[in-house]
Amino acid sequence: MAADEVGEFERIRRFFAPLAGPGGLGLSDDAALVECAPGHRLVVTADAIVAGVHYLPDDPPDLVARKLLRVNLSDLAAMGARPLHYLLTTALPPELGPDWFARFASGLAEDQRRYGIDLLGGDSVGTGGPAVLSLTAIGEVIAGEEIRRGGAKPADLVWVSGTVGDAFLGLALLRGAYPDLAAWDRAHLIRRFQLPDPRTELGPRLCGLASAMIDISDGLLADLRHICETSEVAAVVEMGLLPLSPSARSVVGSKADMLPRLAGAGDDYELLFAAPVGATEAIISLSSSVDIPVTRIGSIHAGTGVRLVDADGRPVPVEATGYRHF
Amino acid sequence: MAADEVGEFERIRRFFAPLAGPGGLGLSDDAALVECAPGHRLVVTADAIVAGVHYLPDDPPDLVARKLLRVNLSDLAAMGARPLHYLLTTALPPELGPDWFARFASGLAEDQRRYGIDLLGGDSVGTGGPAVLSLTAIGEVIAGEEIRRGGAKPADLVWVSGTVGDAFLGLALLRGAYPDLAAWDRAHLIRRFQLPDPRTELGPRLCGLASAMIDISDGLLADLRHICETSEVAAVVEMGLLPLSPSARSVVGSKADMLPRLAGAGDDYELLFAAPVGATEAIISLSSSVDIPVTRIGSIHAGTGVRLVDADGRPVPVEATGYRHF
């Protein structure tokens, strides 16, 4: 772990060195060591977030840390990889003091325990602008079993884990929408936005079952489009099959125009995957054994594009979709 | 490679996808794949730089890219690792247009060829503040042959590659110092500051020879102190043995007080290492075969601390040292 000021050395010693695993060498060497089990490949991904863009500067630092970690773990899960390690680089404004760091590091520590991962290293620098936090996550997968975006085939079914649209509604609530919603529903939806639940248990177990997979960050339909473009296929999603949480149902109620918006909503970090019909029984059994719901929402076809259809198979118009910043 | 705007997708497609290697999967998947050769470990390191802190906003973008890449490759070399891949996350202000990106990417492309590495992925986000560029480099080393900071032993000799102090003088020149220096010397020293030459050929070949190694970023004496603290030994550096470039000699001339300052100067990205006396012949032969000078500058002893001494063995006082920002 590098550092550019004496204060940064102290910061690393106090807050980050306790998070380091054996390969991190106490964050006191030039680089870290990563073992790779025979017959495995490593899987790496990096994501950056910016204060005021991807999170609010006064969001709880522990939640900011955990969300940054979890969106990266979600990318690993979407490849079928088991998470192992991460590196963290922080560019932070001078006004963030030890309290901020202590809470930020406590969030990392909590999720390290939860996901069985450790810190390998990184960098800590100052900036006169908003905080920029960048994380590189490293996982492993049995060589050849990684799940790519390009393997979907016509006649495959399309599945999604958990529920969709919660994070979109959570962000809307933070912006003041739906003031009459019950406190429990508010808390649930906001939590889903602030702290996604990466499907690290489900993803690796889909190796050998799913033909293509992605995690929902840009939006369900947009991310399915990524699969279709890479796989050179088309997909149809049945709007009535989209799994909604009870809290999302409370918001949607009888507003029929909300469903297409939720189909386009991002930030849920659920797994969206295609699988041959023959894998259906194994997928349902897996869902039960890891206690994560998976729902069939559509199918893959020859052609191009992604269509959302109603119960009668008629196309439903969809607004421009994708990730929405503050 | 993730992206948070349609413009970012286009940016990735145009400028970064051509830099991707096979494991980067065209930057179109959730994560990248890294093969690890049997009997090897991967070595990972990350560094971040901030516009206005670590480089000037109007520095040539290709040089900024190459310096960012090279300081990370220097960290790999200091572990004895051969470079393989990197991930890049950029947080950039909106005023940086396609010209800036094209030049930034051309710098990466040039150094990818030079060092035989490729891009695996990363992220590209916007910021309202100064640019923050973060790079994670991945290399490999034969398992157990990695060179750590903690292996220096009393009676080992201390060696340094190349020349020291050039980058410090180059930065001083950029700040207006030494206006009478010859143009050739100016160009050489500024180049050494703007574009370090990571010792990727030398580092891996020191496996089995060096007992401890670090690259000079904080400053020769400060970095030697890192080795001594981790190895629980002391070191003596003979000021008269410090290797200076002809251009640095032109600046130093007869100013005796300059030498201790150069001993404390950082940013040279040379390799600083300890090795048993018995390795001397092999080190000199290696230096000749890779055509990179190495110079014995001191020795390791029992005890603590790092002392700079003159030709008579008398301690030379040294100012506070370490990396200097703009």
Model confidence pLDDT, tens digit, residues A38-50 = 899 999 999 999 9
Instruction: Residues A157-309: name the CATH superfamily.
Output: PurM-like C-terminal domain (3.90.650.10)
What span, in angstroms and rounded, lies between the C-alpha atoms of A66 and A83?
A: 14
**Highest-scoring range by mean pLDDT, A98-102, A229-233, B252-256:** A229-233
- CB-CB neighbours of B181 under 10 Å: 17
- Indicate whether A322 pLDDT > 90: no
Q: Mapping DSSP to helix (H, G, I), strand (E, B) and coil, where does residue B32 land? A: strand
Mean pLDDT, to the nearest integer, of B12-18? Answer: 81
**Highest-scoring range by mean pLDDT, A89-103, B93-107, B222-236, B308-322:** B222-236
Q: Region of B309 please: left (phi>0), alpha (psi -120 to 50) or beta.
A: beta
Structure confidence at residue B198 (pLDDT): 97
Q: Which amino acid is residue B273, in one-letter code?
A: F
Asked if A263 and A191 count as a contact pair (C-beta separation under 8 A), the reply is no
The ranges of chain B annotated as CATH 3.30.1330.10 are 2-142
The tokens for B7 are: 């413009």
Q: Among partner residues A34, A121, A136, which is closest to B41 by beta-carbon distance?
A: A34
Interface test with A, best of B134, B147, B227 (most A CBs within 10 A): B134
Please state the three-class secondary structure of chain A as a single string.
CEECCHHHHHHHHHHHHHHECHHHHHHCCCCEEECCCCCEEEEEEEEEEEECCCECCCCCHHHHHHHHHHHHHHHHHHCCCEEEEEEEEEEECCCCCHHHHHHHHHHHHHHHHHHCCEEEEEEEEECCCCCEEEEEEEEEEECCCCCCCCCCCCCCEEEEECCCCHHHHHHHHHCCCCCCCCHHHHHHHHHHHHCCCCCCCHHHHCCCCCCEEEECCCCHHHHHHHHHHHHCCEEEEEHHHCCCCHHHHHHHCCCCCHHHHHHCCCCCCCEEEEECHHHHHHHHHHHHHHCCCEEEEEEEECCCCEEEECCCCCECCCCCCCCCCC
Report which secondary-structure segment, H or E, holds B179.
none
Instruction: Decide if A30 and B127 are in contact by the 8 Å CB cutoff.
Output: no
- CB-CB neighbours of B177 under 10 Å: 11
Nearest to A72 by CA among A137, A134, A20: A137
Select the more confidently predicted residue: A264 or B325: A264
Instruction: Decide if A226 and B28 are in contact by the 8 Å CB cutoff.
Output: yes
CATH code of domain B2-142: 3.30.1330.10
Nearest to B181 by CA among B164, B199, B193, B169: B169
Structure confidence at residue A324 (pLDDT): 45
Instruction: Decide if A4 and B75 are in contact by the 8 Å CB cutoff.
Output: no
The tokens for A295 are: 């729902």
The tokens for B310 are: 């003159």
- Of all residues in chain A, the one with the smallest CA distance to B29 is A149
Enumerate the residues of chain B whose CB falls inside 8 A of the CB of residue A40.
Answer: 36
Instruction: Decide if B48 and A130 are in contact by the 8 Å CB cutoff.
Output: no
Instruction: Decide if B127 and A53 are in contact by the 8 Å CB cutoff.
Output: yes
Q: Among partner residues B81, B132, B322, which is closest to A127 by beta-carbon distance?
A: B132
pLDDT confidence bin for B325, thresholds 50/70/90:
very low
What span, in angstroms and rounded, lies between the C-alpha atoms of A264 and A318?
A: 7
**How many Cβ pairs closer than 8 A exist between chain A and B?**
212
Query: Which single residue is written with the structure tokens 């910021």?
Result: B127
Q: How much of chain A, in percent, has pLDDT values that exceed 90? A: 75
Mean pLDDT, to the nearest integer, of A295-312? Answer: 96
Q: Mapping DSSP to helix (H, G, I), strand (E, B) and coil, where does residue B154 land? A: coil
Interface test with B, best of A123, A134, A140 (most B CBs within 10 A): A134
The ranges of chain A annotated as CATH 3.90.650.10 are 157-309
Longest dimension (CA), chain A: 66
Q: Among partner residues B49, B122, B128, which is closest to A46 by beta-carbon distance?
A: B122
Structure confidence at residue A320 (pLDDT): 55
- Indicate whether A113 pLDDT > 70: yes
Q: Among partner residues B31, B45, B146, which is closest to A44 by beta-carbon distance?
A: B31
* pLDDT tens digits, A131-188: 999 999 999 999 999 999 999 999 999 999 999 999 999 999 999 999 999 999 999 9
Q: How much of chain B, in percent, has pLDDT values that exceed 90? A: 76
Nearest to B127 by CA among A324, A3, A105, A127: A127
What span, in angstroms and rounded, lies between the C-alpha atoms of B2 and B6?
A: 11
Interface test with B, best of A30, A92, A321 (most B CBs within 10 A): A30
- Indicate whether A323 pLDDT > 50: no
Q: Is the dihedral of CA A301, A302, A305, A309 positive or negative?
A: negative
Mean pLDDT, to the nearest integer, of B101-116? Answer: 95
Report which secondary-structure segment, H or E, holds B222.
helix B220-231
ipTM: 0.87
Asked if A10 and A25 count as a contact pair (C-beta separation under 8 A), the reply is no
- Indicate whether B194 pLDDT > 50: yes
Query: Which single residue is written with the structure tokens 């390290």?
Result: A112
Instruction: Decide if A129 and B126 are in contact by the 8 Å CB cutoff.
Output: no
Nearest to B199 by CA among B281, B80, B119: B80
Enumerate the residues of chain A whose CB falls inside 8 A of the CB of residue B213.
Answer: 30
Triad B167, B173, B175: Cα angle to 5°? 110
Instruction: Decide if B325 and A122 are in contact by the 8 Å CB cutoff.
Output: no
Structure confidence at residue A28 (pLDDT): 73
Query: Which single residue is written with the structure tokens 């370490």?
Result: B322
Enumerate the residues of chain B whose CB falls inside 8 A of the CB of residue A215.
Answer: 30
What span, in angstroms and rounded, lies between the C-alpha atoms of A247 and A39?
A: 44
Nearest to B48 by CA among B108, B144, B166, B137: B137
Mean pLDDT, to the nearest integer, of B187-209? Answer: 96
Structure confidence at residue A203 (pLDDT): 98
